[in-house]
Amino acid sequence: MRLIIDVGNTRVKVAVFEIDTIREVFVFEKANIISELKKIISRFSISNSIISSVANFTEKEKQKIVELLNPVFLNSRTKIPFKNLYKTPRTLGVDRIALASAAINKFPNKNVLVLDAGTCITYDFITNEGKYLGGAISPGVAMRYKALHTFTSKLPLLEMEEVENFIGVDTKSSIHSGVINGVSNEIDGIIAQYQKKYPDLTVVLTGGDTYFLSKQLKSVIFAHPNFVLEGLHTILIHNLAND
């Protein structure tokens, strides 16, 4: 079995893969990573592993992880299953590298646009020739709500809600319309831009806000909540095959 570890700024998402299937997924706080990994290792026989992190580890944490798993640490020098044409490849986030790898594996020989709706909304485009061209980064849903509250004196901080009428009739419904309707139209508009140039486009939506946003969008998409984990697994297999 293979262990796939995706480390965010505060939370960690871990998947146990058996061949090409996710057997179990674990989510826990980053502060507990060593103890939680020990629990998982005690339950499963792990042969190989990979770790992707947008947060920094202390040297002590990194050493303990190496002792436990000796994983592949994903970075800009890791072997990947696509041609990276990003002008600054060393600045490309490991999460975006994983998403591009998942797109290559799940939709070979297709033009794929991957949307990751989390803290930020990222857009990553892979051509049918397996070339990563780049994409876009914009504020996520929660970030937009927080920005309205933080940078004004009177607007309240709201939790996201579905919008039934795009015309807000009071302050709260106006905020919801501005954020949710704005995000939905942004995503639909960007998809339309890509479709104009690549009519046979495949669109994938992933990230924490996947299910909420998929109900708001007009565009036809594939929802894959574990796309980053699947991409990391693809990278691990690629490295094992090319060692």
Report, as residue numbers or ranges, the catalytic residues. 95
25 is an annotated ligand-binding site residue: no
Closest residue by Cα to residue 208 from 121, 112, 114, 93 = 121
Q: Residue 181 carries which DSSP code?
A: I
Cβ neighbours for 189, distance < 8 A, ≥ 6 positions apart: none
226 is an annotated ligand-binding site residue: no
135 is an annotated ligand-binding site residue: no
141 is an annotated ligand-binding site residue: no
Give the helix ranges, DSSP H, for the chain: 33-43, 59-69, 94-106, 141-150, 171-176, 182-197, 210-214, 227-241
**3 state SS of 202:** strand
11 is an annotated ligand-binding site residue: yes
2 is an annotated ligand-binding site residue: no
Contact 1, 8 (CB under 8 A): no
12 is an annotated ligand-binding site residue: yes
Q: 141-150 and 182-197 helices cross at what angle (nearest 10)?
A: 130
25: which strand partners?
A: 15
58 is an annotated ligand-binding site residue: no
112 is an annotated ligand-binding site residue: no
95 is an annotated ligand-binding site residue: yes
Would you tell me how many other CB atoms lie within 10 Å of the CB of residue 50? 25
Residue appearing with tokens 């049918």: 128
20 is an annotated ligand-binding site residue: no
86 is an annotated ligand-binding site residue: yes
Cβ neighbours for 147, distance < 8 A, ≥ 6 positions apart: 139
**Six token digits for residue 201:** 């486009």
179 is an annotated ligand-binding site residue: no
Known binding-site residue numbers for ATP? 6-13, 119
For the annotated binding site, the residues are: 6-13, 86, 93-96, 116, 119, 171
Annotated binding site for K(+): 116
Annotated binding residues for substrate, written as ranges, equal: 86, 93-96, 171
